[in-house]
Amino acid sequence: PARRFLIELQVLGTEFNVVQRASETSVALASGKVVLHIGVPLGESASVTEVPMVPGEVVQLVDNSLGYEKKIASNPEAYAAWKQQKLYLDHTSLQELIIKLEETHGVHLAVAEDELLERKASGTLPLSEKPEQLISNMAEVYDLVPVSREDHILMERRKGKQ
């Protein structure tokens, strides 16, 4: 079973973005100051780790556990891109994107060949509320063709492409 934990944000006049997915939680600080308190839910015995943040930093909880990684964001705008209905890709593999879209949009995708999962893309992917449009945008960025199946979408190579 997944381990439960608590992140408490002490906000000190700031602008930040929190992303929580099944596989990760991250906090990106754009301006101001934040102190994260990383621990387990109240009532369980454990210590709490305080992690102060300054603008431009990102803290990612490793596999949604109490371990964390703190780093300088190479592209801070990418963490708030959802506000403009965009997803920034920075050498993002198709595999990473498929996982993210399944978590955020409930889209079930598969690939015809495992090697397609290694394709990488950089740039901006327009997001859409409509799954069909989102899949079409993704296929265009990764130079693939989406094929509807009974319970999922299969991503295939474009004919004549290697």
pLDDT tens-digit map of 92-139: 999 999 988 888 788 889 999 999 999 999 988 888 878 888 899 999
- CA torsion through residues 39, 62, 60, 96, sign: negative
Say if CB 14 and CB 34 are below 8 A apart: yes
Q: What is the DSSP string of 114-154?
A: GGGGG-EEEEEEE--SSHHHHHHHHHHHTTEEEEE-SSSEE
Is a pLDDT exceeding 60 seen at residue 151? yes
List, for residues 52-102, the tens digit of each pLDDT value.
888 889 898 877 666 788 888 877 677 777 778 888 888 999 999 998 888
Distance CA 44, CA 42 (A): 6
Helices (H) and strands (E) in the chain, counts: 2, 10
Q: Is 3 exposed, middle or buried (0-12, 13-18, 19+ CB in 10 A)?
A: exposed
pLDDT score of 116 = 95
List, for residues 18-42, the tens digit of each pLDDT value.
777 777 788 888 888 888 878 765 5
